[in-house]
Amino acid sequence: MNIYEFLKKQKHVLIIVIGFFVIFEAVIFFTIEYKEKEDKKTFLEFKSKELDTQIKMGEHYLNLIAKVLYDNVIDSDVTSDIMYKATQTNDPKKLAALREELYTKYEKDYEYMKKLGVRQFHFHLPGVKSFLRFHRPEKFGDSLVDVRESIVYVNRYKRPIECFEEGRIFNGFRHVYPIFKDKKFVGTVEISYSFKAFLEHVLEVNTQTSYLFLVNNDVIKEKVFQDEKINYMRSAFGHYSIDKKTLNNSMGISLNDIFSINKSIANEVAQKIEAQDNFTIVTHIGNVENQSVVVSFIAVRNFDKKKVAYIVGYNYSITMDIVKKRSSQVMVLLSIVNTIMAFLIFTLLKREKRKTELASKEAIHDPLTGILNRRGFDKILGHKVSVSRRYTSDLSIIFFDIDHFKNINDAYGHDVGDVALKELTTIIKKQIRESDIFARWGGEEFAILLPMSSLSDALLLTEKLQKKIENTHFSVVDHLTCSFGVTQLKQNDQVETFLKRVDEFLYLAKTTGRNKIVADGFRA
């Protein structure tokens, strides 16, 4: 019996067997497919929740820092006094002076805040009117009623609030606090962080995830200043744009790969991004199948609970087989990882704060005298010149050095010279105002910057310093004298010409007899 005859004879049996085989195979196939879909769904939901938890932890960290800054730095009688005075006048010059006073008080604190990730430090008057943006001090006086619901809320209910909110310049995680003077409401203050600050914090403890920040185009069009819209670039997800200032090419996945991934998932995302809040997609980089990437979209809602942005996280992923077999172990592992992350956040925050404070102080202060060094002085000088120009206020500078200081070092040694420098520094600090900027320019040469001081004011101070130094008995030398150059910022001055002129006056004082004061039209 040949094969044809055999098949013909067993035709009905074969049909039943094949039918059963096909049906069973189909059941197996669809069961496995269904199980894979369920496992994938569970896994993707887990990845969305995981990123959402990390974001909440990041937000909680920012909330804590903002509260610490408000309680320990901002909430003071000086602040409430300035804000109260600002509510009592409409005089532009008085308001400008109050802004300057407020800026001077918190200028150094703001530099430290920026190291902690603060993007906006903003004071507002009652009625939701901008008073002083530390990040853009030249922009003030505009009404924020239509763009900043959080400030409207604090104005109305006189209690602080934390939320994500759009702005005219930046979007950010906002912390708005009321300011009171003798229980009277005198304004609000805002500490805000950008997504970049959140990103830098999260990347310290989780280097495996890469991020993008997407903002709804309607929000950008409606609320952002026209000249600030260049801070955004179109994404592959039509109705959303990327905040360019949050881009970081040092994350686990390069920006080029992220943009390539976005193009490949654009159609799938378009179906979900308007209809859903949080969702996750699995894709691949290029054609490498085992290089799978999990992309999680976490919706960001504003003060009015409207979905205005997305935080997108990108992770290389293990395969679905490993996810299925080891899901319980992964859950336990992630719980351990989260516990370790909480411990690492606390440890890294303490260490980073200590390191930042030390590095900041060492970078701009003279180690011998404790006053600003030349680098620190230069940082402040440019700003003070700009402020003087903006508010047409006086600004003067004194350069001075110790006469024949080399002879002291040669005769007594550098240790004695160092003691003399420190004693001289102490004398000067007692004679100048807190608002004056005192620095060791180099060697035995010093500089004093005098905001809101005319040349005549500066000369009076210089004569006072000259007499004080000359009449002081120093502990290691009998006495010292100093030569002084003094000048006032002129209309056409640049920073360089300002410094050059005062340096020339100092040189002239030294070369024409020492223990002298030389200024514009003045020698003594």
Residue 203 binned pLDDT confidence (cut-offs 50, 70, 90): confident
Determine contact, residues 498/511, Cβ cutoff 8 Å. Answer: no
- What's the pLDDT tens digit per position in 350-381? 445 456 556 566 678 889 999 999 999 998 99
Give strand pairing partners of 284.
Answer: 292
Inform me whether the pLDDT recorded for 220 exceeds 90.
Answer: no
Q: Is the dihedral of CA 267, 272, 278, 283 positive or negative?
A: negative
Between these two residues, 274 and 345, which has the higher pLDDT value?
Answer: 274
Give strand pairing partners of 280.
Answer: 296
User: Which of the following CATH numbers is that of domain 374-523: 3.30.70.270, 3.40.50.150, 1.25.40.10, 1.10.1040.10?
Assistant: 3.30.70.270
Inform me whether the pLDDT recorded for 28 exceeds 70.
Answer: no
Q: Domain boundaries in the chain?
A: 54-190, 196-343, 374-523
User: Which of the following CATH numbers is that of domain 54-190: 3.40.50.970, 3.40.50.300, 3.50.50.60, 3.30.450.20?
Assistant: 3.30.450.20
Inform me whether the pLDDT recorded for 290 exceeds 60.
Answer: no
19's tokens:
């039918």
DSSP string computed for 66-116: HHHHIIIII-SHHHHHHHHHHHT---HHHHHHHHHHHHHHHHHHHHHHHHT
* pLDDT at residue number 9: 62
- Domain 196-343 shares a fold with domain 374-523: no
Map tokens 């290029």 to a residue.
Answer: 286
- In angstroms, the CA 148 to CA 224 distance is 11
Residue 282 binned pLDDT confidence (cut-offs 50, 70, 90): confident
* pLDDT at residue number 17: 64
- What's the pLDDT tens digit per position in 109-146? 999 988 888 888 999 999 999 999 998 899 999 998 88
Nearest to 297 by CA among 283, 313, 286: 313
Residue 224 binned pLDDT confidence (cut-offs 50, 70, 90): confident
Between these two residues, 455 and 291, which has the higher pLDDT value?
Answer: 455
User: Which of the following CATH numbers is that of domain 196-343: 3.90.550, 3.30.450, 1.10.10, 1.10.1740?
Assistant: 3.30.450
The whole-number average pLDDT for the span 192-218 is 79
What's the 3-state SS for 296-311? Answer: EEEEEECCCCCEEEEE
- In angstroms, the CA 185 to CA 228 distance is 32
